[in-house]
Amino acid sequence: MNLGLPDEAQELIRAADRAIAAAGGVELTRAAELDPTVRTAVAAPVVAALGLGDLDVGADPDIAVAGAEVCRVAGSHAFPYPLAAMFAGRHATAGGNLALVGGGRPRVDHGDLGAWSAVDGSGKRYRAVPVDAPLGSKLGPFVVDVALEPQPGRSAAVDVALALDLVSFTVLGYVERARALTVEHVTTRVQFGQTLSRFQSVRFQIADVSVLERGLRELARFTIARVLTVGDREAMADALALRVAALEAATEVFRIAHQLHGAIGFCDEHDLSILSRHVQPLLRLPLALEGTTQLLVDSIALAPFDSLFSAAAGA
Amino acid sequence: MDYDLGAEAGSLRDRLRDLIRDNVPESYLGAFSDNPEDLEIAQRFCKVLAAEHLLTLAWPEEFGGAGASVWDQTVVREEMWAHYEPRGAQYMGLNWVGPAIMRHGTPEQKAKYLPPIAAGEVIWCQGFSEPDAGSDLASLRTRAVPDGDGWRLNGQKVWTSYALMADHCVVAARTGAPDSRHAGITLFLVPMDRAGLTAVPIPSQLGPHHLNELFLDDVRVEPGEAILPVNGGWKVMRDALAYERVGIARYARCDRLLTETRAALGADFDSAPPALLARYARAAVHARTARLLSYKTIAAQAAGEIVDSDAAAARVAVTRCDQEVGGVLMELIGSDAFDGRDQAGAPLHGGIEDHYRYSQAATVAAGTLEMQLTLVARAALEAR
Ligand SMILES: Cc1cc2nc3c(=O)[nH]c(=O)nc-3n(C[C@H](O)[C@H](O)[C@H](O)COP(=O)(O)OP(=O)(O)OC[C@H]3O[C@@H](n4cnc5c(N)ncnc54)[C@H](O)[C@@H]3O)c2cc1C
């Protein structure tokens, strides 16, 4: 499978990384937590200057990959803006952001920014109207309670799949940054006269993180490369599979990252603490690991999961 | 099975639950919040316990205690931790600072420090860790230099829980040569308002008061404020940490939250994904195993045969269970998981969210998981 990207897309991804870093990177997120208007005053202009609002990720596979990679970059900075939802909405509803909603109280990360539509697992469409300011809580700083107003029509499964894939790419970005911070920490922190990286159990933990990150990256690339071509049912099964992998990886990577950082990783002056808190809405909305896995189980019950032997079994 | 909680345990547990119900609001999640009311609740509750002779239940009678069995003490610890420790930061003083002074203090130190602890009037904090001395605690560098009949302390401590609430700190400082490690550390009982001692809060995802920095700039320590002998601090520190490892009954809060979450969710619990319910069931099993491993260690302690690796094994099980329960319950409450105690209608008043955040540090605080695993491995290999 050719996962190479045209130069144009590569350039966009690099530009996004530079622009978000120049706007402060994780520091911007820290500022937004103190003053949520920073999201519109600083983050939104970065998005506009990059021309990201014009990117139609559903138009062709290369653009889908480019958009997904930009989401990854945003995740690696814990960028306080709903980029994945913006891309998904631009394609599925020709404007506004698109949220995925599951069971329980309807909530949307950054649900106060811009106009939102929402879609549930069965494809039912809604308008999502914020009913309150962001929670401002530790694990959901920008999570907003919304009211859902039913809308006519149904969303195509591929639109929902694309929206899910973009969130998973964002999670991949968080995972990459957590790994990078942890590698940096264990190679500089000295205990018992050596850097932590000299202890074999630390090396094994770093290796576990690395294997999870690599696996998630390959699965993510595989999934986004074919989302527009495999057909509705398969795109949805792919997207659920990717989300399961993303949630598994993120949970374990952040656990190990915190463990290897020791006490300092819990301090909000450390980037790890910002990342592990701000990734929570991505891991829990619309559904967390077991809820997502159940949807995948249901999907596999209807048609086999695409594998080396599935064609023979399902034919 | 080599323990028996005894006939009194059940009625003691009931009595404690009654006292908690009558004196501690249902929404109480510990004294460590930005709301001073929470600290007041804890302070008041300590006085109530003191009046009922329950605060120093575990202490020997000569120091105003009730000389209770270790199992009565275990019941107290379980009920306190299960209810978000309504004694607040007092537990440090009651559980290890007081006992350490009983064992190692001079008659003057006992007379001065024990009665206020027994009356629930003072808060102690623990100044062991330093920026460069975490797991390798024996490398600590805060220095104590003789100054007339006393000492002068210089250096920095970090992660000092409750420092801004505390009246006193037990500061571990180097009195031996710079490379004397375990053999050159002395503990000092320093009032927090002593000139040169500054505590600074560290904002963290665990919530307020859990982490602070402590700067010691030429802090004068009086002769009666050192725990003797000089250079004998390491043994006392080990006892303190051993206490923290077994003494905090995290499994009790796990049990309570598992039960109460199920009740609070009602029909939503039953309709959760089967895989999540399976994780819930396994977490309940792990909480029970963790409790039994803790009981085994407590029984051994009572018989005077403390085995480090038993305590470490119990702690591995307890802290992992703590995180497992946090993960399962957060998933069960779905999109309510973002609600802290300040959000109206948060499940269990935000108790699940609070538990989840705090549990992330369970495998780091008071000795990391890896340090415990090292002890367990050594014992298993030596048994060959
Ligand atoms: C909530 C909380 C409250 C605390 N309260 C207090 C307090 O009141 N007073 C106080 O003095 N301290 C307190 N501490 C500090 C606590 O004791 C330390 O965090 C702990 O000892 C670990 O030290 P560290 O954080 O520096 O991590 P480090 O020692 O730097 O460890 C980082 C990582 O490296 C691993 N590691 C280190 N050495 C080895 C090795 N040889 N082999 C394999 N792995 C290794 C560790 O296991 C860990 O995963 C508190 C900590 C927390 C989180």
Average pLDDT value over all residues in chain A: 95
Q: In this predicted structure, which of A48-52, A172-176, B69-73 has the lowest mean pLDDT?
A: B69-73
User: Which atom in ligand 1 lies closest to the alpha carbon of residue A259?
Assistant: 49
ipTM associated with this complex: 0.97
**B233-247 vs B274-302: helix crossing angle, rounded to 10:** 140
Chain B residues within 8 A of A290 when measuring between CB atoms: 272-273, 275-276, 279, 331
Does residue A288 lie in a domain region?
Answer: yes
| A212 Cα to chain B: minimum distance (Å) | 19
- A-chain CB neighbours of B334 within 8 Å are 102-105, 284, 287-288, 291
The per-residue pLDDT for B235 is 93
Per-residue pLDDT, averaged over A223-231, amounts to 95
| Nearest chain B residue (CA) to A265 | B204
Q: How many domains does chain A have?
A: 1
Q: What are A141-156's pLDDT values in tens digits?
A: 999 999 999 999 999 9
Selecting from B342, B357, B369 the residue whose C-beta is nearest the C-beta of A259 gives B369
Output the pLDDT for position B124. Answer: 96
**pLDDT at A315 exceeding the cut of 70:** no
Distance of alpha carbon A17 from alpha carbon A101, whole angstroms: 29
Which residue from B136, B335, B368 is facing A104, i.e. has the nearest CB?
B335
Instruction: Tell me the nearest-neighbour CA distance from B111 into chain A, angstroms.
Output: 36
Query: How far, in Å, CA of A273 to CA of B206, rounded?
Result: 10
CA dist., res. B291 & res. B200, Å (int): 36
Residues in chain B: 384
Q: How far apart are the first and last CA of chain A?
A: 24
**Rounded to whole angstroms, how far apart are CA atoms B174 and B81?**
33
| Residue at A285 is within a domain | yes
Residue A157 buriedness (CB in 10 A; 0-12 / 13-18 / 19+): buried
Reported as a pLDDT band with limits 50, 70 and 90, residue A118 is very high
Mean pLDDT across chain B: 94
Helix (H, G, I), strand (E, B) or coil at B157: strand
Encode pLDDT of A239-273 as tens digits: 999 999 999 999 999 999 999 999 999 999 999 99
Cα–Cα distance between B76 and B63 in angstroms, integer?
18
pLDDT, average across residues B182-201: 98
The answer to whether residue A158 scores a pLDDT higher than 80 is yes
pLDDT at B333: 98
Exposed / middle / buried, residue A304 (Cβ in 10 Å: 0-12, 13-18, 19+): middle
Residue B97, judged by CB atoms within 10 A of its CB (0-12, 13-18, 19+), counts as buried
Residue B43 vs residues A310, B37, B73: alpha-carbon distances, Å: 65, 10, 20
The C-alpha atoms of residue A228 and residue A231 are separated, in whole angstroms, by 7
**For A43-72, what is the mean pLDDT?**
96
Residue A219 placed within a domain? yes
Report yes or no: A121 at the B interface, CB cutoff 8 Å.
Answer: no
% pLDDT > 90, chain B: 80
CA dist A26 and A180 (Å) reads 14
Q: Which amino acid is at B267?
A: A
CB contact under 8 A, A290 and B279: yes
Q: Decide: A196 in ligand 1 pocket, CB within 6 A.
A: yes
* B368 inside 8 A of chain A by CB: yes
Q: Is residue A281 part of a domain?
A: yes
What pLDDT is attached to residue B245? Answer: 75
> Quick check: is A98 in a domain?
no
Q: How far is A44 from chain B (nearest CA, A)?
A: 24
Inspect the interface and report whether the beta carbons of A105 and B132 lie closer than 8 Å.
Answer: no
B156 and chain A in contact, CB less than 8 A: no
Q: Is B279 on the interface with A (CB under 8 A)?
A: yes
Strands B185-191 and B212-221: unpaired
Mean pLDDT, range B78-91, rounded to an integer? 93
Q: Is the pLDDT of residue B231 over 90?
A: yes
Q: How far apart are CA A121 and CA A124, in angstroms?
A: 8
Two tokens at B226?
């050192």
Q: Are A278 and A78 in contact (CB under 8 A)?
A: yes
Greater model confidence, B59 or B346 = B346
- Is B272 touching A (CB cutoff 8 A)? yes
Q: Is B170 in the pocket of ligand 1 (CB under 6 A)?
A: no
Of B109, B353, B328, B85, which Cα lies nearest the Cα of B236?
Answer: B109
Confidence of residue B242 (pLDDT cuts 50, 70, 90): confident
Quote the pLDDT of residue B95.
85
Q: Is the CB of B160 under 6 A from ligand 1?
A: yes
Please name the residue whose Cα sits nearest to atom 17 of ligand 1: B366
- Using CA atoms, how far apart are residues B340 and B333, in angstroms rounded to an integer? 13
Is A134's pLDDT higher than 50?
Answer: yes
User: What is the domain range of residue A280?
Assistant: 158-307
Mean local confidence (pLDDT), B99-124: 93
Phi then psi for residue B351, to 5 deg, are: -65, -30
The separation between the first and the last C-alpha atoms of chain B, rounded to the nearest angstrom, is: 24
Q: Is A138 on the interface with B (CB under 8 A)?
A: yes
Ranges assigned E (strand) in B175-209: 185-191, 197-201
Distance in angstroms (rounded) separating the CA atoms of residues A39 and A29: 8
Which of B135, B158, B202, B355 has most ligand 1 atoms within 8 Å of CB, for mutation?
B135
Q: Does A290 fall in a domain?
A: yes
| Distance (Å) from CA B137 to ligand 1 centroid | 9
Q: Are the Cβ atoms of A267 and B211 closer than 8 angstroms?
A: yes
At residue A166, the pLDDT reads 98
| Contact status, residue A70 vs residue A83, Cβ threshold 8 Å | yes
- Ligand 1 atom with the shortest distance to the CA of B366: 17
Domains and CATH numbers, chain B: 7-121 (1.10.540.10), 125-231 (2.40.110.10), 249-382 (1.20.140.10)
The mean-pLDDT minimum among B215-224, B228-237, B239-248 falls in B239-248
| Reported confidence tier of residue B2, pLDDT bands at 50, 70, 90 | low
The torsion angle over the Cα atoms of residues B348, B354, B356 and B359, rounded to 10 degrees, is -130
B174 pLDDT higher than 50: yes
Q: Which CATH number fits the domain that encloses residue A191? A: 1.20.140.10
The residue of A131, A138, A182, A189 whose CB has the most chain B CBs within 10 angstroms, and thus the best one to mutate to test that interface, is: A138
Tell me the pairing of strands A116-120 and B124-127: unpaired
Q: Percent of chain B at pLDDT above 70?
A: 99
B124 within 8 A of B171, measured Cβ to Cβ: no
Assess whether pLDDT exceeds 80 at residue B243.
Answer: no
* pLDDT-derived band at B66, boundaries 50, 70, 90: confident
Query: Does residue A86 sit within a domain?
Result: no
Interface of B with A in 84-143 (CB under 8 A): 129, 132, 134-136, 139
Q: Is the shortest distance between the CB of A187 and ligand 1 below 6 Å?
A: no
pTM: 0.97
Give the integer Cα–Cα distance in Å for B163 and B118.
Answer: 20
Which pLDDT band holds residue A312 (cuts at 50, 70, 90)? low
Per-residue pLDDT, A3: 53
Question: A-chain residues within 8 Å CB-CB of B178?
Answer: none
Looking at the domain assignment, is residue A166 inside a domain? yes
Task: Determine whether the interchain pair B158/A263 forms a contact, defined as Cβ–Cβ distance below 8 Å.
Answer: yes
Is it true that the peptide bond before B131 is cis, omega within 30 degrees of 0? no
pLDDT tens, position by position, A105-117: 999 999 999 999 9
Instruction: Give the atom of ligand 1 at the shortest distance from the alpha carbon of A266.
Output: 53
What integer is the mean pLDDT of B207-229? 97
